[in-house]
Structure 1
Amino acid sequence: MISSSIVRSQSIHLVTGLLVNHDHAWNSDDNRQDETGAWLLDPLLDNITKTVYDSDIFLTDENIMTNMILDRFAKQTWKEYILKSLSIRNDIDLRPIAQYKKSQECPYYITYIIDHYYDLPEIILFSHGRPQGHNPNIIKQWSWFIQQVQQDKQRHFFNSSIGYISSNCGSYVKRYTRSRPILDLLGYERTVDPLANQIKALCLGTYCCAQFIIHRSRILQHPISFWRLALKIVIDMNDCSHFEHIWHVLFGEPGELDQQKNLAVWYEQAHPELIERCSTDIVED
Structure 2
Amino acid sequence: MDNQPLEEMSLEDIRKQINEQSFLGKFIIQDVEDIIPFVCIVYNNKYPGFYFESIYNHFIRYSNKARSSLWLSFNDQPIQWHIPFFVQIDRINEEVEMVVHFKKRPENVLPISENIQVDIKNRYFWNLKQACMIRYGHKWERQIFQTITIEQQYKMFQNYSDHNYRPQFYEFFDKIWDLTMLKKEQQLSIPIRIFIDGNMIQRSHVLKDAKETLQNVLQPIFEDSLNYNELNVNVLGLQVNLDFPVRLLVSTFINPDGFCYIIIK
User: Under TM normalisation by the shorter chain, which class is it?
Assistant: under 0.3
- Give the number of the structure whose residues are more often strand, by fraction: 2
TM-score of the two chains, using structure 1 as the length reference: 0.22
- TM-score normalised to the size of structure 2? 0.23
